[in-house]
Amino acid sequence: MHSRSTGAAPALPPFDYTVFGGTGDLALRKLLPALYLRDKAGQVADGSRIIGVSRSPLAPSDYRAKAEEAIREHVPADERDTALVARFLERLDYVPVDATSDNGWDELAERLNTPPPRSGGAVRIFYLATSPSLFGPVSDQLRAFGLATPESRVVLEKPIGRDLASAQEINDRVGAVFTEQQIYRIDHYLGKETVQNLLALRFGNSLFEPLWNANHIDHVQITVAETVGVEERGGYYDQSGALRDMVQNHLLQLVCLVGMECPISLAQESVRDEKLKVLRSLKAIGADEVGGCTVRGQYRAGAVAGGAVPGYLDEPGIPPGSGTETFVALKLEIDNWRWAGVPFYLRSGKRLPAKMSEIVIQFRPIRHSIFPQGAGELQANRLIVRLQPDESIRLHLMTKEPGPGGMRLRPAALNLSFAQTFGGRFPDAYERLLMDVVRGNSTLFMRRDEVEAAWQWAEPIIDGWMSRHEMPKPYIAGTWGPSQSIALIERDGRTWHDDEIPSAAF
C-alpha cells in the first residue's frame, strides 16, 4: 500500500480571506473547517487572516466561538488538535457589514488596510457565500470603498443566477469591478478528488481514449443521489429545484469532463475551452422534447436509512402546493463527431435511498460471439467511476469461471478502491479550491462563458416544464425517484446501473 500525504503541503503566500455570509451555513459547515484543515496541513502562512462578514452584530470573540463549534461539529475528531485549532481561531476576525447599505464598510476597509505583522503583500480574497442577488451590490461596495484592488480576487458561490439573463446580469455587474481573471466561480464538484481523477483516467492512460467515442460506447449514465432532504434551505431550494441546484452546474460539469476532447495542456484556459465546446454541443431540449426526455419528481413522506422523513411539502419553508422538483432524470445528447447518437442519462435527487455519485460508461457488446449457448450471458464491458462515497474505479469484464467444467463465462470486476490503494484522508473539495484561489489557479473554476452556455441549455427545459403546467411526479422518500425515470431509460432498452458484481469474484 502506498501512503498518501494530505499532511504537510507547500506553504502559500499569506492571504486575507474575507467571507461574506460568514455566519451562514456554507461558511460554518464547509469553508471554515476547510481552512482549518489546510492550516493544519501547513498551507496557511503566518499573517493570514480570515474575516467573517455578515449583518449580525457579533464581536470577533463571538465569531471565534461559532467557528470553534463549527470545527467541532464538521471536522473529524482525529483531525482536531487543540493547539492547532487555537492557532487557527487566532487568525479569525469579524466585522458586521450590511451589503446593501454603507454600514460597516469603513470598518472593513480599516481592518483590511491595517495588515498584521508578517502579512506583507497578502493575497486579498473576497468569498461571496451569499445569495446571488448580493453579488452585484457587494462588488459595487468593494469598489466604492476602495477594497477591490487590481490584485484582489472574488469567489462566487453557485448558483450564478437562475436563468441566462440573471446570470448575465450578475456577470456584467461583478465584471464591471473585477476582470474575468480575478473572478473564481466555484463548482465544488470540480474540487472532488475523483472528479479530477477523470482527467487522469482519460488522458493518463492509453487504454481508454481510443475507445472513448460513439463507435465503442453505447451510453453514459451519471447519478448524483442524496439521502438528505432540503434541510434548513427550503427558502432557497423552493426557488431553485433539482435542475438549477444540481444539473445546470455539477452534473453538466461531469458531462464536460467525460465528454471533452483532450486539452492541449492542463493550463486553465485549455481545459475550460474544451469544457465549453461540450456545453455548446449539447442538443437543445425544448418544449417539444421535455415530455419525452426529462422527468421531474418530488418526494413524499417515506423512510430513509430506517427513519421516517416528511414529504417535501411538509418541510420547513416550503409553500403549500409547491411544484418545485426535488428529483430530475433526463436524457441528453452531445451533438458532435465523437458522441453523436450516444445518450447520456442523468439523474439527481434528494431523499433517495443512498448518498452516491457515480459515472457509468457502458461499452457496446462484442460484435460476434464464439461461445456456445449455455456458456452464460455475455455482458458488455462497463466502467464505473464512483465519485463518492467509497471512491473507486471498477471495470466489469467477462471471465471464464474457474474449474474443469468447460467454458462457462461470468462477469467479474477489476476494482481500484482509492481508500485501499492510497489510504489516508481525502481532502474535501473546498480545501483544494480555497487554496487554488490563493495560488491564482482557476482551472477548476467556471468561466463566464461556461456558466452562460450551461444556462443556455438548461433554460429551455425549465421553460418547457412551465409551459406544460404539470406538477412533478411524486416519489416516496427512500426510493429511486418516480417510476417514469426508470421508464425513461428502459424505453431505450437500457437500465440504470445498480448491480454490484463483487470484485472478489476472481
Residue number, 33 or 96, with CB nearest to ligand BG6: 33
| Segment (H or E) for 404 | none
Output the residue with the shortest Cβ distance to ligand BG6.
245
DSSP code for 42: T
To ligand BG6, the closest distance from the beta carbon of 205 in angstroms equals: 26
Residues 47-106 that bind ligand BG6 (CB under 6 A): none
Residues 395 and 414: their CA atoms lie apart, in Å, by: 5
Residue number, 48 or 357, with CB nearest to ligand BG6: 357
To the query of whether residue 250 is one of the catalytic residues in this protein, the response is yes
Residue in the block written with cell 464512483: 386
Residue number, 30 or 153, with CB nearest to ligand BG6: 30
Sequence-ordered list of residues with C-beta below 8 angstroms from that of 92, at least 6 positions apart, any chain: 32, 49, 50, 51, 52, 60, 63, 64, 67
Give the residues across from 183 on adjacent strands: 154
Q: Is 355 annotated as a binding residue?
A: yes
To ligand BG6, the closest distance from the beta carbon of 233 in angstroms equals: 7
Q: Is 140 annotated as a binding residue?
A: no
Q: If you compute the radius of gyration of the chain from its CA atoms, what whole number of angstroms results?
A: 24
Residue in the block written with cell 461470468: 410
Marked catalytic residue, from 250, 368, 396, 469: 250
Q: Which of 135, 216, 236 is nearest to 178 (CA)?
A: 135
Residue number, 158 or 448, with CB nearest to ligand BG6: 158
To ligand BG6, the closest distance from the beta carbon of 245 in angstroms equals: 5
Sequence-ordered list of residues with C-beta below 8 angstroms from that of 41, at least 6 positions apart, any chain: 6, 7, 8, 9
Q: Is 226 annotated as a binding residue?
A: yes
Q: Is 219 annotated as a binding residue?
A: no
Residues 244-283 that bind ligand BG6 (CB under 6 A): 245
Q: Is 400 annotated as a binding residue?
A: no
Residue number, 166 or 399, with CB nearest to ligand BG6: 166
Other C-beta atoms closer than 10 Å to the C-beta of 329 total: 27
Q: What are phi and psi of 143, to 5 degrees?
A: -75, -45
To ligand BG6, the closest distance from the beta carbon of 9 in angstroms equals: 22
To ligand BG6, the closest distance from the beta carbon of 146 in angstroms equals: 33
Residues 358 and 221: their CA atoms lie apart, in Å, by: 8
Residues 413-432 that bind ligand BG6 (CB under 6 A): none
Check binding of 16 to ligand BG6 (CB under 6 A): no
Residues 147-176 that bind ligand BG6 (CB under 6 A): 158
To ligand BG6, the closest distance from the beta carbon of 226 in angstroms equals: 5
Total residues at interface with ligand BG6 (CB under 6 A) = 3
Residues 232 and 25: their CA atoms lie apart, in Å, by: 9
Give the residues across from 304 on adjacent strands: 307
Residues 406 and 470: their CA atoms lie apart, in Å, by: 56
Residue 314, classed as helix, strand or coil, is helix
Q: Is 283 annotated as a binding residue?
A: no
Sequence-ordered list of residues with C-beta below 8 angstroms from that of 86, at least 6 positions apart, any chain: none
User: What binding mask, one character per residue, do residues 207-226 give for ligand BG6 by CB under 6 A, x or -?
Assistant: -------------------x
Q: Annotated binding residues for NADP(+), as ranges?
A: 55, 158
From the annotation, which residues make up the binding site for substrate? 188, 192, 226, 245, 350, 355
- Positions that interact with ligand BG6 (CB under 6 A): 158, 226, 245
Residues marked as catalytic: 250
